[in-house]
Chain A
Amino acid sequence: MTKLTFIAHDGTPFDVEAENGSTVMENAIRNAVPGIEAECGGACACATCHVYVDEAWTTEVGEPEAMEEDMLDFAYDVQPNSRLSCQIKVRDALDGLVVRVPARQG
């Protein structure tokens, strides 16, 4: 199991154990992290699972692909460390990953 930490917009941390191969978004939903809506259910079609990747992790997590960049156009307050959490797959190298939830999803 891989440890992930979501930090809600009000600063509350949510530590969760995630299975490798699952998406960061699925773990947010499974653990009822507030502020992750995932309207489209993980199809990279709605930009409502937007997160900010902690600066220490941006290199390891990597850059969004073109389709995800397109969807990020619809997200609220996009920053250079913005990602859609449905497009980040959990793996060993992400153990300890910290992501922050934006003020709102669109």
Chain B
Amino acid sequence: MTDVIKTDALIVGAGPVGLFAVFELGLLDMKCHLIDILDRPGGQCAELYPEKPIYDIPGWPLISAQGLVDKLIEQIHPFKPDFTYNRMVSSLQKLEDGSFRVTTDENEVFEAKVVVIAAGGGSFQPKRPPIPGIEAYEGKSVFYSVRRMEEFRGHDLVIVGGGDSALDWTLNLQPVARSVTLVHRRPEFRAAPDSVNKMYAMQEMKQLEFRVGQVSGLTGADGQLASATIKGGPDGDIEVPCTRMLPFFGLTMKLGPIAEWGLNLHENLIPVDTEKFQSSVPGIFAVGDINWYPGKLKLILSGFHEVALMAQAAKRIISPGERIVFQYTTSSTSLQKKLGVVE
């Protein structure tokens, strides 16, 4: 068994609200570990709209979504949170001493005194393209990411999409695969122009094939693909050999395994009280877009308020009996020491 990672508060989701939870918990001396399915902090702000301006963060008449994430990272730096990226939480188990054991899809094991779910709209997962019957091939010959390039050696590979993932893997897997066909619904690409130029150059040299159109059907048996039909291109419907497929259609958000944690749910949201922002299971809190209570607004600023109150309740669980002195960062030397702004 892998080593157990112990922390005070395990935060599921490193979006803006999860990040600010580190600050509020940190002021009350709680150590935090964040888990996120993305490869960097910021959640939707970083993944969906990093360059979009946000106008309703108090004190910031205008800040870009990525700018806000960067500022939050700077703000929580004194509390030295730990991050685990590219992981989805899977199971949760309550232990005898009242703490929680949480595992990830890569079998890491965490033990935390409280769990804070700040998972927004859910975890980002690859979008399934509209191809009839594709489910039967998923995980066997249709993959949504490349974990090991060797899995594609000697295969007739069809890559679908027009972004950087599609183009990068087209270029990287071309030397490994037996054949590569790139399919995109239009001749314009979102990917870096340099990759697109390289792809066209390789097409000129007949090292790969690029076809405009959409994959409309698959043939194969027992999860093993044999061919793919491409429609909408200049040559009409054509069938290409295909024993491996990599569709890259972006990401969508799903609640995922959290739904199996035994918490009460309300339309895929986690109902909480508005004093502690605690779920139906004591010690498991939900903050930000993923929670629900009467009057809930899915605003970043509401999430910030929620984590401040949640931290008070979490402190009472982690340090029972300890008196919590309410303090301001403007005047409290002890808080300022934690923030590293005074000696």
- Closest beta carbon of chain A to B103's beta carbon, Å: 28
Q: Cα distance A46–B253 when bound, in Å?
A: 10
CA separation between A76 and B130, bound complex, in Å?
Answer: 6
Interface size for B (C-beta < 8 A) is 21
Known contacts A47-B250, A73-B162, A73-B185, A78 near B52 by CB under 8 Å: no
Q: Is B214 an interface residue (CB 8 A)?
A: yes
Establish whether residues A45 and B49, one from each chain, have CB atoms under 8 Å apart when the complex forms: yes
* Chain B residues, Cβ within 8 Å of A47: 250
Are A40 and B162 in contact, CB atoms less than 8 angstroms apart?
Answer: no
Task: List 8 extra interface pairs beyond A39-B48, A73-B250, A106-B250, CB under 8 A.
Answer: A40-B48, A43-B48, A45-B49, A46-B48, A69-B186, A73-B184, A76-B130, A106-B252
Report yes or no: A77 in contact with B130, Cβ–Cβ below 8 A: yes
Q: Mark A14-48, 1 if CB is under 8 A from B, else 0.
A: 00000000000000000000000001100101111
Interface residues of B in 170-188 (CB under 8 A from A): 184-186, 188
Tally of A-B Cβ pairs under 8 angstroms:
41
B interface, CB within 8 angstroms of A: 44, 48-49, 52, 121, 127, 129-130, 161-163, 184-186, 188, 190, 214, 249-250, 252-253
Q: Kindly provide the distance from the CB of A54 to the nearest chain B CB, expressed in whole angstroms.
A: 21
CA distance A77 to B216 in the complex (A): 10
Q: A45-B49, A78-B214, A106-B127 are in contact. Are A40 and B44 (CB under 8 A)?
A: yes
Which A residues form the contact surface with B (CB < 8 A)? 39-40, 43, 45-48, 66, 69-70, 73-74, 76-78, 106
Closest residue of chain A to B249 (Cβ to Cβ) is A74
| Residues B163 and A43 in contact, CB atoms below 8 Å apart | no
Cα separation A48 to B44 with both chains bound (whole Å): 14
A43 to B214, CA, bound (A): 26
The contact of A45 among B48, B130, B163, B253, by CB within 8 Å, is B48
Which chain B residue has the least Cβ–Cβ distance from A47? B250
Residue contact B49 to A73, C-beta cutoff 8 Å: no
Q: Tell me, in angstroms, the Cα distance from A73 to B48 when the chains sit together.
A: 14
The answer to whether B49 touches A40, judged by C-beta atoms less than 8 angstroms apart, is: yes
Q: What are 30 A-B contacts defined by CB distance under 8 Å? A: A39-B48, A39-B121, A39-B252, A39-B253, A40-B49, A43-B48, A43-B49, A43-B52, A45-B48, A45-B49, A46-B48, A47-B250, A66-B188, A69-B186, A73-B162, A73-B163, A73-B184, A73-B185, A73-B186, A73-B190, A73-B249, A73-B250, A74-B127, A74-B250, A76-B129, A76-B130, A106-B127, A106-B249, A106-B250, A106-B252
Name which residue of chain A comes closest to B128, CB basis.
A106
A43 and B184 CA atoms in complex are apart in Å by 24
Q: Is the CB of A73 within 8 A of B161?
A: yes
Q: Give Cα A76 to B129, complex, Å.
A: 7
B161 contacts across to A, CB distance below 8 A: 73
Tell me, in angstroms, the Cα distance from A47 to B253 when the chains sit together.
Answer: 12
Give the docked Cα–Cα distance between A106 and B161 (Å).
14
Given A40-B48, A76-B130, A70 and B249 contact (CB-CB distance below 8 Å):
no
Which residues of A lie under 8 Å from residue B129 when comparing CB positions? Answer: 76
Top 9 closest pairs, chain A to chain B, by CB: A74-B250, A45-B49, A45-B48, A77-B130, A43-B49, A70-B190, A106-B127, A43-B52, A76-B130
